[in-house]
Amino acid sequence: MKIALIQLNSIWQDIKTNIQQAENFIQQTEKADLYILPEMWATGFCTADAKDASLALHWMERIAKESLCAIAGSLPISKENGKFANRFYFVTPTCSSFYDKHHLFCIGGEDKEFEAGQERTIVHFGEFRFLLQICYDLRFPVFSRNANTDYDAIIYVACWPASRKLALDSLLIARAIENQCYVICVNRTGKEKTLRYDGGSCIISPEGKRLLDLGCSPNIQTTDISIEELNSFRQKYPFLQDADAFQLF
C-alpha cells in the first residue's frame, strides 16, 4: 500500500486556505492509496476558541471519491451537547470512519471544551487494519496495546511541539517495536501562538527503523508498506503470542 504523508503549516482558523494547501500537495505528488494529514489540520490546535471544521470533512469526502483513495486526519467537530470532539476521520470513496481523541491534553485546555472518546477505532482498508490515534494518546501505551494482534499499523496524527520532539521520536519507535506493527505519524510544522512545530512526520517499521522522514518543512512524501513483510516478521519473531491475551478497550 502506498502511503502519502502531508506535513502542513496549518494557518490558524483559516479552513479554506488549509484545504487549498492540502489539495495543492496532493496534486503535486504521485497517486497514493492513503493520504494522511495532521491533527486539527484545517484550523490549528484550537481549544477554548474551537471552530467547527465540517467544511474540511466535506473536502476529504470529495477527494476520496474523485481520486479513488482514502484520506485521513483530525478535525474539531461540534457535537449536539455543545462540546467539541477532536475527531480523527478515515474517509474512503464509499464510507467514513472516525475516532474521538481519548486522552485530552489538559495542559492546553483541551478538556474544557472537548469531550473524550471512550472507544478505540480500528479501520480495515485494503489488506491493512489501522488503529487510529491522536497526538497525546502516544504517551499512554496501554491504550494502543496490540495484545490480540487486532491491527497491523497505528496512525498518529499530531500537533506535537518542537520542545518535546525527543519524546515524540522515542515513543513512536517504542510503539512500533512493542506492538510489532507499522507506526505512521503525521505532525504539523510552523508556529502557532507561543509554540513551534518541527514536523518529523515519519513511518516506522515493526523493527523500529525509519522508512520515511519528512524533516521539518511543509511537504508531502510517499512510501510503500507491505502486509507480507509484516506477517513474515511476526512469524519469524512471534513475540505477541507471549503477551497477555485480553482487551482493555
Residues identified as active-site = 39, 101, 135
153-158 and 182-187 beta bridge pairing: parallel
Q: Is 120 helix (H, G, I), strand (E, B) or coil?
A: coil
Q: Is 91 helix (H, G, I), strand (E, B) or coil?
A: strand
DSSP string, 124-172: EETTEEEEEEEGGGGG-GGGG--TT---SEEEEEE---GGGHHHHHHHH
Question: Across the beta sheet with 153-158, what order do the strands follow?
Answer: 122-125, 128-134, 153-158, 182-187, 202-204, 210-213
